[in-house]
Amino acid sequence: MLKLPLRDPLLTAKQVATMAVMSGNRIAVGVGLSWIPEEFTFTGTEMRTRGARTDEAIEILKAVCAGRGPEWVDFHGNHYDFDRLMISPAPDLPVPVYGGGHSEAGLRRAARFADGWISVNTGVAELTSAIERLGELRAEFGRADEPFEIDASPTDVSDIDGHRALADIGVTRVRVSPWRLYGADPSDPRARLDAVRRFADQAIAGS
């Protein structure tokens, strides 16, 4: 997750565009806000407007990395404003932008502007609630039929049936930390490896 309101959006878009070209379009960007006042103080940015600025920054990022190669873009918002310019290199495929956050504002931002949503580490019940709300909001913004990724990090799923159930509620990608699932000591490399093997036997092999 990239804390976008701490950064200049045009410079960030330039950096992302370059990485997309260098990697052969193998990049996506997760966007968060940050809740830490010191981060805004240290970067000379305003915390109060972080939500509105993030909305505009996402629009800038998606315009620069729209997937049509270098082209003229401009933006005139309440917080960011620039006339026509061309950033090169620029990718020939759109860079996916994923929103984060379980708050109503975070879900609304992802549903309105983003290509997907990334969850925090949480249980299936909270994931289900958030995904249902995302569906409602995407319909509200007229985006219900557009492709949309759900990247989840469930804390209470360890077997193949549980992961199949996640797919049923709309999850398209899962991030796992097996040592957390089985209570292994994360500072012990052997314990982490044993947890990975256990997860492979219980979940991956059964798929």
Domain harbouring 149, CATH code: 3.20.20.30
Same domain, 87 and 157: yes
Same domain, 159 and 203: no
Using DSSP, state whether 81 is helix, strand or coil: strand
pLDDT for residue 1? 85
* Beta-carbon contacts of residue 44 (< 8 Å; ≥ 6 apart): none
Same domain, 62 and 146: yes
What confidence tier does 178 reach under pLDDT thresholds 50, 70, 90? confident
Rounded mean pLDDT, 91-108: 95
- Kindly tell me if the per-residue pLDDT of 165 is higher than 70: yes
Same domain, 174 and 197: no
pLDDT for residue 171? 97
Same domain, 172 and 184: no
Same domain, 147 and 185: no
Share of the chain above pLDDT 90, in %: 84
What confidence tier does 180 reach under pLDDT thresholds 50, 70, 90? confident
Handedness of CA 73, 91, 2, 28 (dihedral sign): positive
- Kindly tell me if the per-residue pLDDT of 206 is higher than 70: no
pLDDT for residue 18? 98
Same domain, 37 and 85: yes
What confidence tier does 174 reach under pLDDT thresholds 50, 70, 90? very high
Rounded mean pLDDT, 8-22: 97
Same domain, 147 and 104: yes
What confidence tier does 160 reach under pLDDT thresholds 50, 70, 90? confident
Same domain, 41 and 112: yes
Rounded Cα distance, 153 and 3, in Å:
19
Over residues 137-151, the pLDDT tens digits come to 999 999 999 999 999
Q: Any idea which of 44-58, 77-91, 105-119, 150-164 has the lowest mean pLDDT? A: 150-164
Domain around 199 = 179-207
Same domain, 157 and 183: no
Same domain, 185 and 197: yes
Q: Quick one: tokens of 20?
A: 């997309």
pLDDT for residue 110? 95
Same domain, 130 and 33: yes
Percent helix, strand and coil across the chain, each to the nearest 5: 45, 15, 35
Within the chain, residue ranges assigned H as helices are 9-22, 37-43, 50-64, 104-113, 124-140, 160-168, 178-181, 189-199
Q: How many domains does the chain have?
A: 2
What confidence tier does 207 reach under pLDDT thresholds 50, 70, 90? low
